[in-house]
Structure 1
Amino acid sequence: MNPRLQTVLSHPLHQFLGVVDIHSNDRQGEICVTVTDQLINPAGLFHGGVVYVLSDVCAYAGLLSLLSDNEEAVTHDLHVSVLRPAMLGDEVVFRSEVVKRGRQLCFLNVTATVDDKIIATARVTKSIISQPNEAPEPLPE
C-alpha cells in the first residue's frame, strides 16, 4: 500500500470511524465501513456528519492517485446530499472519482451506497498545495 494512503488509513479518527481498508487507483478512491453503534445518530441512523467526513476522506483517496510526491491537498469546499438512511449493520461503500484536476484545484464526485443503492452524494473541491522537497526545520523546544 502507498505510504501516504497508509497514513490516511492509520489516522485515529478514521480508525474510530471503522475505516479498515482504503483504495486509490486511476483517479478513483474507495472506502468501506460498517454502520456501528458509534456511527449512528439519536434516531438510530447513520450519522450525517460521518457521511460528510468519509466523503471527504474518499475524495482525498481518489485525488491521491494523481498527486506527485511534493503535492498535498486540502478541502476547499464540500457539499453532501443524504438521499436515504443507512441502518445499523449496513455496509456503506464510498467511491470517489476525479472530475477535473487543474494546477490549484481538483473537483471530485463521491457516491455512498448500501447494497448498490445510493444513500448520499458529495461534490468536493480540493486545493492542491506544493510542499518543499526538503524536510521542515524542527520546532524549537
Structure 2
Amino acid sequence: MNERLQKVIDHPLHRFLGVTGIQSDAGRGEIVLTITENLVNPAGIFHGGVIYLLCDVCAYGGLLSLMEVDVDAVTHDLQVSVMRALKLGDVVEFTSEVVKFGTRICFIDVRVTSGGRLVASARVTKSMLPVHRP
C-alpha cells in the first residue's frame, strides 16, 4: 500500500470515524464503513458534517493514485448535496473519480450510496502543490 495513503487511513480523526481502509487505483477511491454512534447527530441521523469530511477524504484517496511523490493536494472547494438520511447501523459507500487531473488543479466527483441508493454527491476541487522536503 502507498505510504501516503496509509497515513490518511491512520490519521486519528479518520480512525475515530471508522475509516479502516481506502481503495485507491487509477484515479478512483473508495471508503466503506458502518454508521456508528460516533457518526450520528443528536437525532440519530448520519451527521452531514461527517459526510462532507469523508467525501473530501475519499476524493484525496483517489487522487493519490495519480500524484507523483513530489506533489500534494489541498482542498480548494467542496460542494456536497445530501439527498437521503441514513441511520445507525447502515453501511455507507463513498466512491470518488478524478474527472480532470491538471498540474495546478484537479476536479473529483464523489458518490455516496447505501444499499445501492444515492445518499449524496460531491464535487471536490483540489489545488496541486509541490512538496518541499528538507
**Superposition TM-score tier, normalisation by shorter sequence:** over 0.9
Please give the per-residue CA displacement for 1:52-86, whole angstroms capped at 9, x wherever unaligned: 00000000011111100100000000001100011
Please give the per-residue CA displacement for 1:78-137, whole angstroms capped at 9, x wherever unaligned: 0011000111001100000000011100001000100111101000000000113xx32x
Count, aligned residues: 134
Residue 21 in structure 1 maps to residue 1 in structure 2 = no
Residue 83 of structure 1 aligns with which residue?
A: 83
TM-score, scaled relative to structure 2: 0.98
1:1-141 paired onto structure 2 within 5 Å: 1-132=1-132, 135-136=133-134
Distance 2:19 2:45 in 1: 18
Q: Give the aligned residue type for 1:40.
A: V
Distance 2:129 2:57 in 1: 17
**Cα RMSD over matched residues?**
0.7
Runs of 4+ in 1 over 2 A off after TM superposition: none
Percent identity of paired positions between Structure 1 and Structure 2: 57
TM-score, scaled relative to structure 1: 0.93
Distance 1:38 1:15 in 2: 11
Larger Rg: 1
Q: Give the aligned residue type for 2:94.
A: F
Unaligned runs of at least 5 residues, structure 1: 137-141
Q: Give the aligned residue type for 1:27.
A: G
Unaligned runs of at least 5 residues, structure 2: none
Q: Give the aligned residue type for 1:13.
A: L
